[in-house]
Structure 1
Amino acid sequence: MTSHAILDSNTHRELRVRAEMGADLGDGVMATLTVPSEFRRVQGHFPILFRREAGQEHYFAVALLGFQSGENLFLDGARWDAGYRPLSLAIQPFLVGRAADSDAPAQVHVDLAHPRLAEGGEGVRLFDAGGLPTPFLEDIADKLGDLDEGYRQSAAFFAALAEHDLLEPFTLEVTLDDGSLNSLVGFHIIDEARLRALDAAALGALHAAGHLMPIFMAVASLAQVKALVDRKNRGLRDG
């Protein structure tokens, strides 16, 4: 259940955000949204996979954090055990809002029902005593801007993938050290054979449009699948 509102320095002057990590604070997820402009930062830490919701035509990209619902292998209690935190997690409980059919600037919205929100002495302030944004909120606004811009640019990226039929289904079955079988289905990855088969004109067009680099980053990120399996096995061994 969400409750979105435009963030306002008067109404929300005393609002604070719990900045620590925690499964109960929204970090307990097996995958989180990422956008092509972020792929370079994501690929060194997490596999980048593609999927679409049942009945939907359009794909989106996710950073894979675990192998089953609610499992985040990079969450160690209140500690984030990776060198990068995807923007879609880092901006919680905020989001970008826009008026329908309007060219008005984007606004920062806040989910008032999100567990990260607090009042009183707990958490980080969003506004100072004079109603000005704190450095914490300014950093969040920068991240929101990056994520929003990346999201708006992603339609052209996915259209290019569809034009060249560059996505293929991806299924992973892994037998863990304890003998259990973990299966990952419903995702797609870049079809490297089709990518290699593209002619110079197609590759040049992808490069000119800025799509070739995120494609390569998504391919490179698959090296993190083994690292994710190893992380899962370490967790099983260490309890």
Structure 2
Amino acid sequence: MFKTLEALDTQQHAQLCYRGVDSYAFAQQVSWAPLACSEIIQAAREMPVMFTTGEHVRPVALMGLRRDTNALVSRDGRWKGRYIPAHLRRYPFLLGATGKANEFVVMIDRAAPHFSLADEQVEGALAMFEGGQPMPEGIVEQARTFLLDFHHELEQSERWLAPLKEHDVLVERQLTLTRDGKKEVAVNGFAMVDVARLNALDDATLAAWARNGLLGLIFAHLHSQTNSNGLIQALEEPLAETETAIETEKMES
């Protein structure tokens, strides 16, 4: 969703102004979003929550059942859901690595409609810099704080979810739509907790997960799969009229 990324620079962007834009058109082709563990409960109320299958386990929220499609953004850019993932709320800002440990730079999507130049005199736009420095308590400092907090939460989430892989309870799944009696893969490349493997864990492990909150997140993840049907109903293309069922299937090895 970031089209023209630039590192925020006090000289290059000295005349840059910012205004809030109540549109999520930038996310119309974003079909999933990374989540922090603190977001899972809220996101799971209306989006299927899955997990990545790579080296690190990361939660993601599915927002579309077809590639480059977001069923929660209307054609005119309105957000149709209740919870907005932090991944989208940080736009048009992004945290960029500098190559040095624990050192980051704030980046912007310069093509975003949020930005304008001071001489353009856009209504509601506020200066981002004054005297070569970010405005005190202004949008730059707010963005930096938000980005750093989200970055740290994502790192913590990886550590918190690591036991799911260590105990081998994740199974790669694909979401399959049924149209006119024929099945077609809608989403793949993500994993779900396998209930049978979860139930096979020893009591000590399950008790530890219950105490630290991991079990609650697993239950939210499992219950969230019913939201797939809601994504079908939210689709505005004619294709949705023939999609009548959705199920998860274990990927064949």
Is the TM-score greater than 0.5?
A: yes
Q: What one-letter code is carried by the residue in structure 2 that aligns with 1:190?
A: V
Partner of 2:29: 28
Partner of 1:63: 61
Distance 1:143 1:181, change over 3 A: farther
Partner of 2:5: 3
CA distance in 2, matches of 1:211, 1:12: 46
Deviation at 1:168, TM superposition (A): 1.0
Q: Please report the TM-score for the alignment, with normalisation by the length of structure 2.
A: 0.74
Unaligned ranges ≥5, structure 2: 242-253
Distance 1:137 1:6, change over 3 A: closer
Q: Please report the TM-score for the alignment, with normalisation by the length of structure 1.
A: 0.78
CA contact (8 A) 2:14 2:129 kept: no
CA distance in 2, matches of 1:18, 1:41: 24
CA contact (8 A) 1:168 1:189 kept: yes
Aligned residues: 230
Deviation per CA, 1:112-165: give whole Å up to 9, x if none.
4x4345313177536376752566556544542442122111221332111111
Deviation at 1:216, TM superposition (A): 2.4
The one of 108, 111, 118 aligned to 2:115: 118
Distance 1:212 1:12, change over 3 A: farther
The one of 225, 229, 246 aligned to 1:226: 229
Partner of 2:190: 187
CA contact (8 A) 1:126 1:137 kept: no
RMSD: 3.3
Distance 1:135 1:193, change over 3 A: farther
Deviation at 1:179, TM superposition (A): 7.3
The one of 72, 95, 102 aligned to 1:74: 72
Identity %: 27
Partner of 1:51: 52
Distance 1:132 1:180, change over 3 A: farther
Unaligned ranges ≥5, structure 1: none
Q: After superposition, where does 1:169-184 map in structure 2 within 5 Å?
A: 169-176=172-179, 182-184=184-186
Q: What one-letter code is carried by the residue in structure 1 that aligns with 2:21?
A: A
Q: What one-letter code is carried by the residue in structure 2 that aligns with 1:79?
A: R
CA distance in 2, matches of 1:73, 1:47: 12
Partner of 2:164: 161
CA contact (8 A) 2:51 2:191 kept: yes
Indicate the structure (1 or 2) with the bigger Cα radius of gyration.
2
Distance 1:183 1:87, change over 3 A: same
Deviation at 1:107, TM superposition (A): 4.5
Distance 1:61 1:103, change over 3 A: closer
CA distance in 2, matches of 1:128, 1:8: 7
